[in-house]
């Protein structure tokens, strides 16, 4: 009897001190969910980047990778339902594209690793405790980037510009946080700023139209709602003959004048690569949030011509001209 008790106690102690185990320790197979808020080319690029990143570390769809791709089509109620359904299926890793998706999974699970893929301010959105030590089950790749360089570019291209307008969706935490930070960066460089919010894409025409009449340029960040109706915003800015600057490559190719941008696919690719640390046994709380470090100055030459703006040589030497969509 004493021997039995000793054996049981030894087993309990052993189980207690066993560290977090690699999630694919039993077989070389990975099950992931990739969930995005809405259908949009820039978010689709992140999705495709995740697949490419996972392939790079040895997991290929149809071979040893099972992928459950979900899209809430902009419906928050549907997103919460998707989150509950995905969690019930217990994938090895969940890739959350955009802040609302990450927040939905934060509420749905505290055990399945959640990999941020395109979240601008994970600390401000209260998804992680800090960049260096995320805490809990969430880490990943942020699309946050230096904002001062955006307005230094505006100064170079539009030296006479005095006031910049900012538009964001009021129910997108990431967009509000980015706009507030961007406006602060612009003000530190001497610009006056005006911020306007919209509640849905239906507001863009009126709000953007009014704002465009009062400023010298518009700045649009990573706002999913505006991205889905960006052509409407461009119609208003073009009518007012003012340029739009953005951090999003797709928006620049669609008609924004330019910006210092990151490759959206790189966000997903980097998240896919980062997943290897979880697969190898590291806990998400111990994996610092990463950023995409490669920045590029992008200019839409067609928009330059339309707005009759001459690109300074200092910008032309460094910029990449991007083809219009």
**Residues 185, 190, 196: CA angle, nearest 5 degrees:** 60
Name which residue leads in pLDDT, 126 or 293: 126
Name which residue leads in pLDDT, 48 or 178: 48
Q: What residues does 217 pair with on adjacent strands?
A: 164
Looking at residue 3, what is its pLDDT?
A: 46
Residue 222 has pLDDT above 90, yes or no: no
Percent of the chain with pLDDT over 90: 74
Residue 225 has pLDDT above 90, yes or no: no
Residue 2 has pLDDT above 70, yes or no: no
| Pairing assessment for the beta strands 296-299 and 258-261 based on DSSP bridges | antiparallel
Per DSSP, the three-state class of 11 is helix
Looking at residue 15, what is its pLDDT?
A: 40
Per residue in 96-118, pLDDT (tens digit) is 999 999 999 999 999 999 999 98
Percent of the chain with pLDDT over 70: 91
How far is it, in rounded angstroms, from Cα 98 to Cα 41? 13
Looking at residue 9, what is its pLDDT?
A: 44
Residue 20 has pLDDT above 60, yes or no: no
Read off the pLDDT of each residue in 276-280 and give the average, rounded to a whole number: 95
Looking at residue 42, what is its pLDDT?
A: 84
Looking at residue 248, what is its pLDDT?
A: 87
Res. 27 pLDDT band, cuts 50 70 90: low
How far is it, in rounded angstroms, from Cα 237 to Cα 203? 15
Whole-structure pTM value? 0.75
Question: What is the sign of the dihedral through the CA atoms of 272, 278, 284 and 286?
Answer: negative
Long-range contacts at 237-241 (CB < 8 A, ≥ 24 apart): 237/208, 237/212, 238/306, 238/307, 239/209, 239/212, 240/209, 240/212, 240/213, 241/307
Name which residue leads in pLDDT, 138 or 7: 138
Looking at residue 16, what is its pLDDT?
A: 42
Looking at residue 41, what is its pLDDT?
A: 84
Looking at residue 259, what is its pLDDT?
A: 94
Q: What is the mean pLDDT of the chain?
A: 89
Residue 26 has pLDDT above 80, yes or no: no
Res. 163 pLDDT band, cuts 50 70 90: very high
Looking at residue 325, what is its pLDDT?
A: 64
Task: Indicate the burial class of 55 (C-beta count within 10 angstroms; 0-12, 13-18, 19 or more).
Answer: middle
Which alpha helices (H) appear in the chain, and where do they start and end? 2-17, 41-56, 76-88, 99-108, 148-157, 173-188, 204-212, 224-228, 230-240, 249-254, 264-279, 301-306, 313-316
Residue 68 has pLDDT above 90, yes or no: yes
């Amino acid at each position: 009897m004493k021997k039995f008790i000793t054996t049981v106690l030894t087993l309990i102690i052993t189980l207690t001190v066993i560290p977090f185990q690699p999630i694919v320790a039993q077989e070389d197979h990975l099950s992931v969910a990739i969930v995005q808020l809405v259908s949009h080319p820039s978010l689709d690029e992140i999705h495709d980047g995740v697949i490419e990143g996972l392939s790079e570390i040895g997991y290929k769809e149809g071979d040893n990778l099972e992928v459950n791709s979900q899209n809430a089509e902009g419906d928050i109620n549907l997103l919460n339902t998707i989150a509950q359904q995905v969690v019930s299926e217990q994938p090895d890793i969940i890739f959350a594209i955009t802040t609302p998706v990450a927040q939905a999974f934060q509420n749905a699970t505290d055990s399945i690793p959640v990999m941020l893929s395109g979240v601008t301010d994970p600390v401000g959105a209260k998804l992680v405790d800090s960049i260096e030590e995320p805490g809990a089950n969430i880490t990943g790749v942020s699309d946050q980037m230096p904002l001062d360089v955006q307005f230094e570019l505006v100064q170079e291209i539009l030296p006479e510009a005095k006031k910049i307008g900012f538009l964001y969706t009021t129910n997108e935490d990431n967009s509000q946080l980015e706009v507030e930070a961007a406006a602060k960066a612009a003000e530190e460089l001497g610009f006056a700023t005006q911020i306007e919010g919209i509640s849905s894409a239906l507001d863009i025409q009126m709000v953007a139209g009014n704002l465009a009449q009062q400023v010298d340029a518009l700045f649009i960040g990573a706002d999913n709602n505006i991205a889905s109706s960006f052509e409407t915003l461009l119609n208003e800015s073009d009518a007012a003959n003012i340029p739009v600057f953005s951090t999003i490559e797709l928006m620049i190719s669609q008609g924004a004048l330019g910006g210092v941008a990151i490759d959206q696919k790189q966000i997903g690719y980097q998240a896919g690569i980062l997943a290897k640390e979880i697969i190898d046994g590291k806990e998400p709380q111990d994996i610092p949030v990463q950023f995409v470090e490669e920045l590029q100055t992008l200019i839409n030459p067609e928009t330059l011509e339309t707005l009759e703006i001459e690109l300074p040589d200092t910008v032309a030497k460094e910029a990449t001209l991007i083809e219009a969509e």
